[in-house]
Amino acid sequence: MVKTLRLAVRATATVLLSGAVAAGCGAPAGKAPAPAAARQTAPAAGGPGAPASPAGNNPLSGTAWRLTEIQSMDDSVGTTRVDDPSRYTMHLNADGSVALRLDCNTATGNWTAEAGADRSSVTFEFSPLAATTALCPPPSVDEQFTKQAPHFRSYLLKDGRLYLSLMADGGIFAWEPLEAGK
């Protein structure tokens, strides 16, 4: 059952990635095309089903990051430090698209972030990501990231770093700013 599910997920990701690549022909160099779903007309702002907008005054809009560590809430697992953070990068584009480098793989999709009504909580979510599925040499956390991506629920900016938290205290992915030109 699990093997069948993995094959179905990989087939879906391959189809999504193929569609995004085909639809993105002619995209500017260095910029990943937004998946086809992201280019569809969104509902009117504030209307039913309108997505939260990452643009505007959101401090994450137009930023780039590199993954430094994964903090598990399970004491027996602890913190996993990323050997080469430059191999794990995330570009949160102002148009709501995201482009990721995950070791020897890449992924694209959309992101949203929105402050709660009381401004004490900030939600963060990825749309389903279209990702390549090459087997990267160990140690690699690419599969861990793509498996966990649907479960990100909030973020915190602290001391210039970005912390993406998984739902139900599942863990925290810590990112530092990606220097310009890298």
Residue 19 lies in a domain: no
Judge whether 89 lies within some domain. Answer: yes
Which residues form the domain of 127?
53-177
Answer yes or no: is 104 within a domain.
Answer: yes
- In this structure, the dihedral spanned by the alpha carbons of residues 102, 144, 99 and 150, taken in order and rounded to 10 degrees, is 170
Local structure of 54: helix, strand or coil:
coil
Task: State the burial class of residue 181 (Cβ atoms within 10 Å of its Cβ: 0-12, 13-18, 19+).
Answer: exposed
In a domain, 92, yes or no: yes
Residue 138 pLDDT exceeds 60:
yes
Residue 102 maps to a domain = yes
- Give the pLDDT score at 117: 72
End-to-end CA distance of the chain: 41
CA nearest neighbour of 126 among 152, 100, 102: 152
**Residue 114, domain member (yes or no):** yes
In the predicted structure, residue 79 carries a pLDDT above the cut 50: yes
Lowest average pLDDT, out of 46-55, 143-152, 159-168, goes to 46-55
In a domain, 22, yes or no: no
Residue 73: pLDDT over 80: yes
Q: Could you tell me if residue 129 is inside a domain?
A: yes
Contact status, residue 137 vs residue 144, Cβ threshold 8 Å: no
More confident position, 150 or 24: 150
CATH number at residue 155: 2.40.128.270
Instruction: Flag whether pLDDT at 21 surpasses 80.
Output: no
pLDDT in tens, 26-46: 333 444 443 333 333 233 333
- Residue 136 has a pLDDT of 94
Position 57 scores a pLDDT of 67
Structural domains of the chain, count: 1
